Amino acid sequence: MRPQRIGTFLTGVLFVGVSIGGAAWLHSAQAAVPLDPIATEHPAGCERRPIDLVICLDTSGSMQQLIDSARARLWDIVCSLGRAKPTPQLRVGLLTYGSPSRSTATAGWVVRQFDLTSDLDSVYSRMMGFSTDGGAEFVGWVLSDAVRTMGWSTDPRALKLIFVAGNESADQASEVYNFREVAAAARAKGIIINAIYAGDRHAGINEHWQEVASFGGGSYSAIDMRCGTVQIDTPQDKLLFELNMKLNATYLPYGEQGADGLQLQQAQDRRAREEGAATEASRVAAKATPLYGNSHWDLVDAVAEGRVEVRGLEKDKLPPALRELSPEDREAEVARMRADRADIQRQITEAQAARETYLRDARKKASDGKAALDDAMLDAIRAQAQANGFNFE
């Protein structure tokens, strides 16, 4: 929807606005934001620095290829960040905008799909359910919700990033939420806003997307949506798929979330496979990084993070395979699984390094010099992470 066609809409919603700091802020239909969940204690000598990444996707009718690209390349982004030092504690949040069938006019057609979470399988599962329909795309509105309603880290060392992607004017509904004022509020909270325009670079500048990035202290990119959906097979794929089967055998579901967590993991493996060999291989590689953790349902991760002790678990909370073992044998089995996993993850990391070398050349040829969504995000994340004290191998 273009600016000249939103007058009637604005008349209907402005009356619910309340003024905060000189800007119009609307009551949101979103649920209350939970307390900052970064409270996990990590093993001594393992410094983890938070990276909070919120992705705002336009899900209006013209953006199916953007959605396909985002979910196809999520695991590439995780893989890249997994090489950062110090090791990040990555959380990802999702908002969508521009789809009237999933929101309301008073919410600006914005939906908070997922608050910031380290549960990457759940994020991917939600992304796989995205679809498009026609609607109005209010960039300032979705950015306001991202800044105000997401559970941003309170750690002063945290890198806090927003990526907003779309292909219409960023100035729509600016009478309600002006992205320039929202960006000022974001920067006051240490949040960087990056803008990705799905289309011609100059068209994006004319539609104010470069301004979004400029006011938000971030980067502006224009992408070809089709580039991100290209599935490139590599010689390393078969090995990665075989290693993934071995890796999955090291997971020990425990507690109330164990069965559901394991089922979710297996379902996302299948979904990645359905997307194509490239997506499946990238997911396998991501599962070998420190950023992919499941301590809320996997006993191996939980023990490694110091979240639980094997001896402290009641028998009915233990993985079925451990229940009939002695306390000493239970601990030995968890330690064995942990060692096996580390060795498998090492092999995956080596295979992924060779795969990335192959992909760099293949993607250049496939894209004909045009940028894809993951290129735009990774370039910005790396630059901003390095400015915040991270290094990449």
Is residue 17 predicted with pLDDT exceeding 80? Answer: no
- Across the range 245-269, mean pLDDT stands at 98
Q: What is the pLDDT of residue 131?
A: 82
What is the predicted pLDDT for the residue at 228?
52
Q: Could you tell me which of 146, 211, 197 has the C-alpha nearest to residue 167?
A: 197
Identity of residue 132: T
pLDDT digits (tens, 9 = 90+) for 195-234: 999 888 899 999 999 999 999 999 998 877 666 556 789 9
Tell me the per-residue pLDDT of 308-348, one tens digit each, with 9 for 90 and over. 999 999 999 999 999 999 999 999 999 999 999 999 999 99
Give yes or no for a cis peptide into 86 (omega within 30° of 0): yes
286-307 per-position pLDDT tens digit: 999 999 999 999 999 999 999 9
Give the DSSP H/E element, type plus range, for residue 250.
none
Q: What is the largest CA-CA distance in the chain?
A: 72
Q: Which of 7-16, 44-53, 189-198, 216-225 has the lowest mean pLDDT?
A: 7-16
Kindly calculate the radius of gyration of the chain based on its CA atoms and give it in whole angstroms.
22
Pair 199, 222: CB distance under 8 Å: yes
336 vs 350: CA distance, rounded Å: 22
Q: What is the pLDDT of residue 175?
A: 95
pLDDT in tens, 87-127: 999 999 999 999 888 888 899 999 999 999 999 999 999 99
Residue 14, pLDDT > 90, answer no
Question: Which domains are delineated in the chain?
Answer: 40-230+372-392 (3.40.50.410), 237-366 (no CATH)
- Give yes or no for residue 5 having a pLDDT over 70: no
How large a percentage of the chain has pLDDT more than 90? 67
Q: How far apart, in whole angstroms, are the C-alpha atoms of residue 20 and residue 163?
A: 24
Q: With bands split at pLDDT 50, 70 and 90, how would you rate the model's confidence at 26?
A: very low
Q: Looking at the predicted structure, is the pLDDT value of residue 35 above 60? A: no
Beta bridge partners of residue 196, listed in sequence order: 165, 221
